[in-house]
Structure 1
Amino acid sequence: MSKKRFIGNWESIKTHQVPEWYDDCKFGIFIHWGLYSVPAYAPHTWELGEVDSKEWFLDNPYAEWYYNSLNIGKGHTYDHHVEKYGRDFKYEDFAPMWKAENWDPDKWAKLFKKSGAQYVVLTTKHHDGFCLYPSKYTDFNCVKMGPKRDITGELTNAVRAEGIRMGLYYSGLIDWQYANDPIFEDDDLFGTSSPTFEYADYSYKQMMELVDTYEPSVFWNDIGWPKQSEEMMPYFLAHYYNKVEEGVVNDRFNGRFRDFLTKEYKQGKVDRSEKWEMCRGMGLSFGYNENEGDEQIIPEKDLISLLVGTVANNGNLLINVGPKADGTIPKEQEKRLLALGKWLETNGEGIYGTRCSRRESVVMDNDTAVHFTAKGSDLYVFVDGLEEGTKEFDIPNIFGELTPLNKELQTESEKTASGTRLHLKNYRKDMYTLCFKAAGQE
């Protein structure tokens, strides 16, 4: 069967469907790495969506927004920069300081494989405009400056060699090399960012360049698309889908089109009837932040809970790693990826290739959460939030046999009027969230 061909108009684009691989994979790795990894600084303040945008941008916890935090001219990041580097030290002066001297893309890819990730999304250009690939449209890139290596190309090859799909992030709307008025609030994102036709053309050509050079499985656009070239959006999407047969795009295309919704920390939308993706850093930042050590980032058990709760409600989890400037992934981040990978080795059957069950997640009186996924007629039941040494718990509305995926776990079950009571003989906290298979009970 020949593949579907798309035409550069909205009628054709809107017939695109999310490919099965993206619905099956459930878990990916986001990577924010760039010039901002040199200062590696942001205040540890709030999750996105917790406070008013004016307060957010003044003390932005995203280290990758370092440029804008300097531009605002006040706040914790600005004060830190003046004290450490001086008032006249420009953001672009970090370029020769970024050496990536210890970077090993194969080592990264092997870690991602061990974590159980099925896809990777790399920031090829963040809002600072510095490109992590040799773009022919600018010398402000990692081959001409800084590491002097094609980071996107090398990592793409390493990731694909491990059998993992490779996706690319691109900051479509914002580029502070073209328009660097400070962003003080959300209205500035479209109101002052990159307002010229020159940038709209540049952005479009770079997006096409990325698609043609690397053929990414995910094209992850950020913030939006320049208003000056909105009419070119369907042509770009048609070109992408024709070039990458099983490609997918996110929802950051000015509300015109999406393959999946995005939720970022507390901002965004979750819809069980539509595919969505949760993206977040392990701490409050995506780029590496020296203020976020082991105590400030998500505990292993909470990371596993986040994955389970996301997948059970029709989402994928795109968890971010923020490498250090030298190219190493911080040990505390690596530790969490390995813990998640070990858990998935045991419980992945209930995650990969599943679909959103007709049963919705429930929170019990003791704050234990029960989540569900489905694969054909089989149901997978996740019990989350157990205390070490828990002896029993009830699962409502399940009346058949429950088989633990963790073979170390010893259980006995009894039927109750409202469902099943499971008796646990040896639950340990390092088993984290438990998964049970209920064959034929979906």
Structure 2
Amino acid sequence: MKKHYSGTWDSVRTHEVPDWYEDCKFGIFIHWGLYSVPAYAPRTWELGEVPGDETWFCNNPYAEWYYNSVNVGQGPSYEHHKKVYGEDFAYENFADMWKAEKWDPDEWAELFKEAGAGYVVLVTKHHDGFCLFPSEYTDYNSVKRGPKRDITGELTRAVRNQGMRMGTYYSGIIDWRFANDPIYREEDNFDNACPTAAYADYAYMQSKELIDRYEPSVFWNDIGWPRQGVNALPGLLSHYYNTVEEGVVNDRFNGLYHDYTTKEYKYGESTRDEKWEMCRGMGLSFGYNAEEGDDKIISVPEFIRLLVETVSNNGNLLINIGPKADGTIPQEQVKRLKQIGKWLKVNGEGIYGTRCSKRENELREDVDLFYTRKEDDLFVFADVKEKLPQEIFIKGAKAPEGVIALDENVELTYRTEQEGVYLNILKNESGFRMAGVRIPGGE
């Protein structure tokens, strides 16, 4: 019998993280909107490396924050905007410049499937207020302006046709069309942004539109929720769970509730005791930044390592792509998605459907070891830093049924001693630095 949620915090908090979210491990985040037209941000820091004050907000590396980065009236994005578009050029003009003329949602979905992703989360409204869906509450959307298409609807169909889950991101607490005072400090996100009850109602009703129209498997709220609308949150979340029985929400609801916690670059905390999600761009930005070419974004070995490290510590990786304004995904991003998909086709047994091992990861001078488990089977992922052959000692491990390389292009031997298992990786001709092995009954 389907569970019913009654619109109270006590009822909402009985919701449990569904198995699909625990199992899929890897998702695709998409930041695509008006900010993809200027496609500019300075390359400065990862979020969390510097304080959230004027240093960050006046030198913001997030291209999707272009509106505010110009609105602060100083810094690289402001100077860029004056030079390229003119000081009096309004951000809203980008709505008529964004055509998405080469966009093919089926092509995107096929790529995400090839990458090995289990779910996709699309930014349906970022802080600039432009919606990628038809809304009863504003004409500032992609059906009335710009592409003249229901981007959320078209992509939802394409993603589901590929057998993946579809999620929607919504900027809950910030909408610069309601309150556009410049944000200079992290506190301004809560103190200055969207202070009215009218906006709280707007955010509630648009969120309900997304839930009712698209039934997203993930409802991904950003930063926080309007304080004036907090009392309505249990009702909204109950409606969501009653509509999408296996839905999940993140932790960006003013600390009031979550199914899972989030970490963004170096900002936020994670624990092996609770489900969490790492989100980040391939470079320093989420939205497409023309300043970030192939040599400025995450390498394939770093990408694979990030996935393995995240999963081994009880997390999911939500990696972001930033499409160009015309709807094409930059080739440097496509290349990385295809490569991680190729790696997952061989090594996915030790990623999908796994849980944390009782063993903590080990970062050594010559090799870093990451552990996952599936029932009694132990999976070991070795990021070898030295030349092969390389012997790896796993203290206290047993190998009652042997050791099996996940990739047939990895050659290894092993021996079991009283103190543990010795793996000897002789060759790795897989093309990838990270090698995985399965030890049946080794957990």
User: Does TM, scored on the shorter chain, surpass 0.5?
Assistant: yes
Distance 1:32 1:282 in 2: 12
In the TM superposition, 1:271-420 aligns within 5 A as 271-366=271-366, 368-400=367-399, 401-416=402-417, 418-420=419-421
> Is the contact made by 2:369 and 2:382 (CA closer than 8 Å) also made in structure 1?
yes
Distance 2:93 2:404 in 1: 58
What amino acid is aligned across from residue 95 of structure 1 in structure 2?
A: A
* Residue 438 of structure 2 is aligned to residue 425 of structure 1: no
Moved more, 405-414 or 205-214: 405-414
* Residue 189 of structure 2 is aligned to residue 221 of structure 1: no
What amino acid is aligned across from residue 52 of structure 2 in structure 1?
A: S
Distance 1:424 1:162 in 2: 37
Report how far residue 418 of structure 1 moved. 3.9
Q: Which runs of 5+ in 1 are unaligned?
A: none
> Is the contact made by 2:410 and 2:435 (CA closer than 8 Å) also made in structure 1?
no
1:71: which partner in 2? 71
- The secondary structure found in structure 2 opposite 1:92 is helix
- The secondary structure found in structure 1 opposite 2:381 is strand
Distance 2:259 2:90 in 1: 38
Identity between Structure 1 and Structure 2 (%)? 60
> Is the contact made by 1:166 and 1:218 (CA closer than 8 Å) also made in structure 2?
yes
Report how far residue 397 of structure 1 moved. 2.7
1:130: which partner in 2? 130
Residues 116-162 of structure 1: per-residue CA shift (max 9 Å, x gap): 00000000000000000011110000010000000000000000000
RMSD: 1.1
Report how far residue 300 of structure 1 moved. 0.3
Distance 2:394 2:32 in 1: 43
Distance 1:344 1:294 in 2: 22
Distance 1:31 1:170 in 2: 12
Report how far residue 420 of structure 1 moved. 2.4
Distance 1:81 1:121 in 2: 29
> Is the contact made by 1:356 and 1:374 (CA closer than 8 Å) also made in structure 2?
yes
User: How many residue pairs were aligned?
Assistant: 440
TM value normalised by structure 2: 0.98
> Is the contact made by 1:72 and 1:182 (CA closer than 8 Å) also made in structure 2?
yes
Distance 2:264 2:182 in 1: 22
Report how far residue 363 of structure 1 moved. 1.1
2:239: which partner in 1? 239
TM value normalised by structure 1: 0.98
Q: Which runs of 5+ in 2 are unaligned?
A: none
Report how far residue 417 of structure 1 moved. 5.6
Residues 264-322 of structure 1: per-residue CA shift (max 9 Å, x gap): 00001101000000000000000000010011100000000000000000000000000
2:19: which partner in 1? 20
Report how far residue 53 of structure 1 moved. 1.2
Distance 1:429 1:150 in 2: 41
* Residue 2 of structure 2 is aligned to residue 7 of structure 1: no
> Is the contact made by 2:98 and 2:146 (CA closer than 8 Å) also made in structure 1?
yes
In the TM superposition, 1:101-140 aligns within 5 A as 101-140=101-140
- The secondary structure found in structure 1 opposite 2:431 is helix
> Is the contact made by 2:410 and 2:430 (CA closer than 8 Å) also made in structure 1?
no
> Is the contact made by 1:121 and 1:168 (CA closer than 8 Å) also made in structure 2?
yes
